[in-house]
A and B are shown apart, each in its own frame.
Chain A
Amino acid sequence: AQTVTQSQPEMSVQEAETVTLSCTYDTSESDYYLFWYKQPPSRQMILVIRQEAYKQQNATENRFSVNFQKAAKSFSLKISDSQLGDAAMYFCAYRSVPLNRDDKIIFGKGTRLHILP
C-alpha cells in the first residue's frame, strides 16, 4: 500500500522569504500523480500544484514550485516570496492511476506553515 510522509508538523518563515515543505512517499507503481493542497483557517481544501510522475519537468504555479525526485520518491513544495495569506496547513497527496473502482487518494498528515511578519 502507498504511504505519504510529511516529516515537518510545523514550520515558520519570515514574510517575503522562501520556504520548502517536504513530502516523501512510498510506492511500487511507476505511474501516478502527486498534489499539494492548502487548507487555510476557513477549512477549505485548495489545490496548490500538481505533478504527473511521467513528466520530468517540475511543475510551477506562480510563487509555488515543486522539486520532484522520482527515484528518491520525494515531492517537496517551495514557496517563494512568502505572503501572510500563505499561512495554512499544507497536505501532500498521492493518487494512483485510476483503475475502475480503485481510485483512492492518500494524504500526508500535513505541515502547518506560519508566516512571520
Chain B
Amino acid sequence: NAGVTQTPKFQVLKTGQSMTLQCAQDMNHNSMYWYRQDPGMGLRLIYYSASEGTTDKGEVPNGYNVSRLNKREFSLRLESAAPSQTSVYFCASNKQGMGNQPQHFGDGTRLSIL
C-alpha cells in the first residue's frame, strides 16, 4: 500500500537549471496538491488539481508549473530554479467531496538551489 510516492527525495540544482518533481498516488483520489514548507512558514499551497485535466493556483505559484498527467500523477516543474525556491516540497492527495477525510502526504523532496 504505497499511498503517495514522491521522487526524488533529495536534489541539488544550480540557479537557472530546470527540473520536475514527480508525484503519484494509488488511492484513486481525485484531488492532488503541491506544497512547499519553509522554516516558520508552515505549508504553503503552490498548485492543486481537483480532478484530471484541471489545475488551479494556490498561494505561491510564481516560478512553478504543474501537469496533471492522469488521475494518478501530478508533477511540479521548476523551469529556471532560483535560490528562493530552496525548500522541502510535499505532494498530497485526498478524496474529493469527503471533507472529513485527511490529506495523504508523500515523504517530501528536499530541494536546494545553489
Task: Using CB atoms and an 8 Å cutoff, list the residues of chain A in contact with chain B.
Answer: 6, 9, 32-33, 35, 37, 42-45, 47, 50, 52, 91, 95-98, 100-105, 107-110
Closest-by-CB residue of B relative to A100 is: B50
B86: min CB distance to chain A, Å: 15
Task: Using CB atoms and an 8 Å cutoff, list the residues of chain B in contact with chain A.
Answer: 31, 33, 35, 40-45, 48, 50-51, 54, 56, 58, 88, 90, 92, 94, 96-100, 102-103, 105, 107-108
Closest-by-CB residue of A relative to B31 is: A103
B29: min CB distance to chain A, Å: 11
Expressed in whole angstroms, the Cα–Cα distance for A46 and B94 within the complex equals 14
Expressed in whole angstroms, the Cα–Cα distance for A45 and B90 within the complex equals 9
Q: Does B51 contact A43, Cβ atoms closer than 8 Å?
A: no
Expressed in whole angstroms, the Cα–Cα distance for A43 and B90 within the complex equals 10
Q: Which of A33, A52, A97, A110 contacts B42 (CB 8 A)?
A: A110
With known contacts A43-B108, A101-B51, A109–B41 Cβ distance under 8 A: yes
Q: Does A50 contact B31, Cβ atoms closer than 8 Å?
A: no
